[in-house]
Amino acid sequence: MEIIETIPQMVAWTRHASKNLGLVPTMGALHQGHLSLVERARVENASLAVTIFVNPTQFAESEDLTSYPRDLESDLEALKNAHVDAVFVPKATEIYPSGYDTWVDVGSVSSKLEGEWRTDHFRGVATVVTKLFNIIRPDAAYFGQKDGQQSVVLKQIARDLNLGVDLVICPTIRDENGLALSSRNSYLTAAQQREASVIFRSLVAGREKWESGERQADVIRGSVEQVLRGADLITGIDYISLADSETLNEVDVISGETMLSVAVRIASVQLIDNVVLG
């Protein structure tokens, strides 16, 4: 496995990679969720690159970039065991050299949900992913459904900018209690992580209502809220959304494919999760 730090070296590596090149972009602190993407990408591609880059431009000022979990040594070990061919680990100045001033600004889908309070978050994600695609030119790139809105934003840029990359959105990986795996879970105590399974239980309650034939979005949102309000652990609910899976417009009555998503606070940590209905 090659470990590459500069753009020219990464470009040189991709020239020799096979035509069928898969990419898994990450911010490191890898957990089983990331590794499930790597495993799938490994099966589906002749060459496989992973990027580890804690992208500063997607952090809000209120979020602490320096305390974001990092564990490069164990990440590299896990990627080597997963038979990854190359890992791109650029420094921030490699991606954003002095004078850098070009941004990929996605419209409507990036301003909703997470975008309402994390202003510029998706601009940072869209910009870095576009840059990584331009540097590596993968045939397919793998992302988790857990970051549901991120997937919608990335599909929008892939379509609008003709990126020519097949985006593969993979199922959310959960712990034994149902909590979606996320690097942010490491900010919680073990007891909080156990109790945070209420987030998935609330989504399941909503999904069960839908499965029993309910189509009024407010009724489903209400059943999710009832479960969340019953948990002392949850200190705030940022949103309970039932939105069209492509436009992220909130729906009144569920007809087509709809994403039921929530963002809640546990102490000061925000956790998000979603399930797709239909």
Binding site for ligand PAF (CB under 6 A): 25-27, 55, 58, 125, 128-129, 147, 150
User: Could you write out the DSSP letters of every residue in 168-182?
Assistant: EEEPPPB-TTSPBP-
- Residue 3 φ/ψ, nearest 5 degrees: -110, 120
Catalytic residue among 16, 31, 34, 121: 34
Give the residue from 218, 220, 219, 237 showing the smallest Cα distance to 228: 237
Please say if 34 is a catalytic residue: yes
For 97, other C-beta atoms within 10 Å of its C-beta total 9
User: Cβ 68 to ligand PAF, closest distance in Å?
Assistant: 10
Shortest gap between Cβ of 98 and ligand PAF (angstroms)? 21
Task: Give 221's contacts (C-beta < 8 A, 6+ positions apart).
Answer: 206, 240, 241, 242
Burial class, 167, CB count within 10 angstroms (exposed 0-12 / middle 13-18 / buried 19+):
middle
C-beta closer to ligand PAF: residue 75 or 147: 147
The strand order across the sheet containing 234-244 reads 234-244, 258-266, 269-277
- Smallest distance from ligand PAF to CB 252, Å: 31
Q: How far is the CB of 267 from ligand PAF (least distance, A)?
A: 22
Q: Is the dihedral of CA 86, 38, 179, 213 positive or negative?
A: positive
Q: CA 222 → CA 70, 89, 209, distances in Å?
A: 38, 44, 10
CB of 191 to ligand PAF, least distance (A): 26
List all residues 6 or more positions away from 58 whose beta carbon is below 8 Å from its beta carbon: 120, 121, 122, 123, 124, 125, 128
Write out the H or E segment, with its range, that includes residue 271.
strand 269-277
Q: Is 107 exposed, middle or buried (0-12, 13-18, 19+ CB in 10 A)?
A: exposed
Q: Which is nearer to ligand PAF, 3 or 65 (CB)?
A: 65
C-beta separation of 7 from 90 below 8 A: yes
Distance CA(96)–CA(101), nearest Å, equals 8
Q: Which residues are catalytic?
A: 34
